[in-house]
Every structure is written in structure tokens, then in C-alpha cells.
A and B are shown apart, each in its own frame.
Chain A
Amino acid sequence: MSPHDVRHHLAELSPQLDARISDHFEDVVIEVGSANLLQTASELLELGFDRLGMVTAVDTGDDFEMVYRVTSRSLSCSAFVKTRVGRIEPRVASLCPVWPAANWQEREVWDLFGIHFTGHPDMRRILLPEEWPGWPLRKDYDDPNVIRRPDYI
């Protein structure tokens, strides 16, 4: 299957998953609603995307955007999966059942953005101490212990 066929196959799947397919240089970008995320992931795995390289989130100000980057060694191509979650008590399905590599990366997103992953086997903080208040990578995070850099430096 060539990268062209992969795009074709994904385009066929998109109405079923309610997904929007676009291109970003060499990569395919698949934007789905958070309800269809797990199914999209399963379809991608079936297609041959067997390696989850990155899980991260973006604080857009209004909501969070989850970004997953998956690659396929057999198809020699990679794809981004994006989904949006609301700001108040954000929840999204865990992709651990599909790609076990998501485990620690989702814990990191939980640690720094406070996005809860339903169905995750071990939803704990990973980098910060357990009792840490707040989610440091959110735009509205404020820590009284942080010393702000003065203007003259």
C-alpha cells in the first residue's frame, strides 16, 4: 500500500468517523471528534500504523487540542490525529488499549494539562510530586513560588 492508497483509504473511512482529512507536508492530519477517537485509533492500527510516537496537548485558550502522532513502518508514512476537548473537566478516551505506548505519555499530559484519560490503567502524575496543585502547562496556571524574571535581565 502506497502513501497515496493510505490517503484514499482514510478518505473512504472519514464519513463513518466524522473526520476531516488534510495534509501537512508529508503527513496526513486526521481531525476527529473526541467521541470517535478510539475508533479512529483502532482503524489506524488495522491499517498498519503500529507506532505511537508522540502524545501531547495544546492549550488554545478556549479549549485543549490533543495531538497524537502515529507512524507506520510497513507503509513508510505518518499521520497526526487531532481532537478537541473542552476546558472544564476535560476528558478524552485513553488510547492505551490500542497503543500501549500511550500509557506514560498520557500520564504526562494528565500531569501538565490536567486532561483525564478514561480507561487509562494508571492515571497518576508522572513528573511532578503527587500533591502538586494545578496543571503547570495550562495558560492560566499561576504558581506563587515562581520568581518572575525582572525586565532588566
Chain B
Amino acid sequence: MAIVDNIGTALSGSGGSVILTSVDKLVDWSRGQSLWAFPMGTACCAMELIAASFNKFDFDRLGTFPRPDPRHTDVMILAGTITEKMKPAVKLLYDQMPEPKWVVAMGNCTVSGGIFYYDTYSVVRGADTFLPIDVYIAGCPPRPESLQDGIIQLRELVREESIAPGKRHERKTLLPRKGEGAGDAL
């Protein structure tokens, strides 16, 4: 756990709300300014993700820096279809990322299974069945601009978050899951 998390725990315990708020803002602002992204490209969306990193779209200028090592990053960008065989590998890489961490689901396949939702035996129907997703980006594939917008929204979200425990935002899944009603009818 990072040292800032310890500060958060210590200060919220002693009732130091004024100091905590200031530290909070500073830490969250700086976290939001520099999100290092782990490009988890499993299929064709990875092409758009690669295009986003290079000179035409250039995500570096927004402080989003691709780093192909889960231990150095704090955002996982899931780009592409996730198969049942790939699922354990994705989970393992997510587990290797240090806290705090966020996940962006890029493209229809990672959001819900996309065109593989029906009549397919090997595709995971949405990454949110096994990972907590913060930002969903629809598209098949989404343009780099959409990804950019998604990253900007994630930065807003990170800035709002507090280092104090219990103040993290809630993650909700998009589609109803098996046994939750609407999905069963199909």
C-alpha cells in the first residue's frame, strides 16, 4: 500500500478533516494528472489503442503513458475480445497491478461481449463479469478520440476520489447478469 493511503487512514482516525481535505485534493489531483496505462490489447481494438499512443493522437500530452508492465501502471485498458482461455491471464495481470488501480473497458467486446454475445461458446460476455470496470467506451472499435474522452472522464473520477478509506466510488455492472431478470429472458 502506498504511503498516501496510510496518511489517509491515520488522519481520518484522528478527526483531522481540514488537513485531510487539503492532502486529499493534492494527492487526487496529482494522481489524475499522471495515469500510466497498461495496454491489455487482446484483439482488434488494440490497433486503435496503439494508434492513440503514437504521434497523431499522442496520449502522452495528456499524461497518459503506456507502459507494458502491470507493476508500473495504475490504469488497465482492456481492448479487445476476452476469451475464456484469456480470462485467467487478464485477471492475473490485474492482480499484479499495485493499488490504487482503475480499469477502462474499451470496445463492445469488453463491455458486453459485443457481436460475440449470441451463439458463441468461447467469449466472456463483458469484462465486468470478473473485473471492476470504471469507464466503459462503446464502439467497434472506438475511435482514439473516444478513448481520449474515456481517459479524461476517468481522470475526473480519479480526482474526485478520496484517499480516505470507504470513499471510493461504487462500480456498477452495465448489463443484467444471469439470475438478475432481463438477461434470463433471452
Contact = CB atoms under 8 A, between A and B. Distances in A.
The contact size tier of chain B is 10 to 19
B125 to A, nearest CB: 8
A124 to B, nearest CB: 13
Most chain B beta carbons < 10 A, residue from A128, A136, A147, A150: A147
B117 to A, nearest CB: 7
Contact of A128 (B117, B118, B120, B122): B122
Interface size class of A (residues with CB under 8 A): 10 to 19
A129 B120 CA distance: 15
A127 B81 CA distance: 14
A146 B121 contact: yes
The dominant DSSP class at the B interface is: loop
Contacts of B85: 127-129
A145 B186 contact: no
Contacts of A141: 121
Contacts of B125: 147
Contacts of B121: 136, 141, 143, 145-146
B57 to A, nearest CB: 33
Interface of A: 127-129, 132, 136, 141, 143, 145-150, 153
Interface of B: 84-85, 117-122, 125, 186
